[in-house]
């Protein structure tokens, strides 16, 4: 029977990979990159999200990330129902025989963890971590990172940077991600514009290996997913997860 390309076969979905982007955190109050009020509207990518930009003006780059870290730590910023639904999906399937689940996020916020997600990879790093460029060690940070902040490994200032992946740098956990993409039978992209590689190509790799691919986004990105479900993440993600879970029982 020809698989209906445009609808998820809810019962067949056993090995699930989810990719999230800035859109899943938009309703939690965190700006996306490419919307009209996006982060890239008042910053040039090459100035604040490249190693060259950091080398040229580390103070400006620290300020860019310090501002985003302070916002993230504001009490008003909380996971929304989309984050919570993904954590529920993970907890419901991860222990079922023959099932698997991996959540890959491009986001550097910690809203997935705060919603309860554990099978989680931050492929572009984390805003609440800093890294020593001498030792390679990462440390938690919840306050401003300044030029004169000392790392605990070298006990001197000047070696620390945000522990995020900038343009031109290699994303994290690519071996684990690639393995999951080639083995999954359902790939779900949520709240990402598909502008940045290699994340933007993940759905094609999954489909080449037999996965059904679904995009849940405010509006369709017109990328060639099998299925497009449009609407705000805090509505469409819980609805979709509910349908997946009710069909699995």
Catalytically active residues, by annotation: 124
Q: How far is the CB of 106 from ligand BV8 (least distance, A)?
A: 3
Nearer to ligand BV8, 182 or 185 (CB): 182
Q: Which of 192, 206, 213, 244 binds ligand BV8 (CB under 6 A)?
A: 192
* Separation of alpha carbons 187 and 102, rounded Å: 10
Q: Which residues contact 247 (CB under 8 A, 6 or more apart)?
A: 10, 11
Name the strand (E) or helix (H) holding 70.
helix 58-72
Q: How far is the CB of 38 from ligand BV8 (least distance, A)?
A: 6
CA distances, 56 to each of 83, 143, 168, 209 (Å) = 36, 23, 16, 43
Q: How far is the CB of 11 from ligand BV8 (least distance, A)?
A: 26
Q: Is 199 exposed, middle or buried (0-12, 13-18, 19+ CB in 10 A)?
A: buried
Binding mask 73-102 for ligand BV8 (x = CB under 6 A): ------------------------------
Contact at 8 Å (CB) between 53 and 170? no
* Separation of alpha carbons 112 and 198, rounded Å: 21
Contact between 130 and ligand BV8 by CB under 6 A: the answer reads no
Q: Which residues contact 209 (CB under 8 A, 6 or more apart)?
A: 181, 182, 183, 184
Q: Segment contacting ligand BV8 (CB under 6 A): 134-142, 185-193, 203-211, 241-249? A: 185-193
Q: Segment contacting ligand BV8 (CB under 6 A): 25-33, 113-121, 151-159, 180-188? A: 25-33
First-to-last C-alpha distance (Å) of the chain: 23
Q: Segment contacting ligand BV8 (CB under 6 A): 9-17, 86-94, 167-175, 202-210? A: 167-175
Q: How far is the CB of 75 from ligand BV8 (least distance, A)?
A: 21
Q: How far is the CB of 181 from ligand BV8 (least distance, A)?
A: 12
To the nearest 10°, the Cα dihedral for 185, 91, 110, 213? Answer: 20
Contact between 117 and ligand BV8 by CB under 6 A: the answer reads no
Query: For residue 21, which of 93, 86, 94 has the smallest C-alpha distance?
Result: 86
Nearer to ligand BV8, 14 or 196 (CB): 196
Q: Which of 3, 135, 195, 247 binds ligand BV8 (CB under 6 A)?
A: 195
Tell me the chain's radius of gyration from C-alpha atoms: 19
List of residues contacting ligand BV8 (CB under 6 A): 21-23, 26-27, 32-35, 38, 49, 106, 108, 124, 164-171, 174, 191-193, 195-199, 217-219, 221, 232-233
């Amino acid at each position: 029977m020809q698989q209906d390309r445009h609808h998820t076969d809810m019962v067949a979905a056993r090995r699930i990979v989810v990719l999230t982007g800035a859109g899943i955190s938009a309703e939690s109050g965190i700006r996306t990159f490419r919307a009209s009020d996006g982060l890239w509207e008042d910053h040039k990518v090459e100035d604040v999200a490249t190693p060259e930009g950091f080398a040229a003006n580390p103070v400006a780059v620290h300020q860019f990330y310090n501002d985003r870290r302070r916002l993230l730590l504001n009490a008003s910023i909380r996971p929304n129902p989309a984050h919570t639904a993904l954590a529920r999906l993970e907890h419901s399937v991860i222990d079922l025989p023959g099932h698997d689940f991996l959540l890959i996020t491009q986001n550097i916020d910690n809203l997935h963890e705060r919603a309860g997600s554990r099978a989680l990879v931050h492929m572009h790093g984390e805003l609440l971590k800093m890294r020593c460029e001498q030792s390679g060690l990462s440390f938690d940070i919840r306050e401003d990172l300044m030029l004169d902040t000392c790392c605990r490994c070298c006990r001197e200032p000047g070696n620390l940077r945000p522990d995020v992946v900038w343009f031109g740098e290699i994303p994290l956990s690519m071996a684990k991600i690639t393995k999951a993409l080639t083995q999954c039978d359902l790939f779900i992209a949520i709240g990402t514009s598909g502008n940045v590689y290699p994340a933007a190509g993940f759905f094609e790799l999954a489909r080449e290996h037999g996965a059904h691919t679904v995009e849940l986004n405010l509006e369709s990105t017109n990328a060639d997913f099998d299925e497009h479900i449009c609407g705000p993440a805090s509505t469409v993600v819980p609805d979709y997860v509910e349908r997946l879970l009710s069909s699995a029982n």
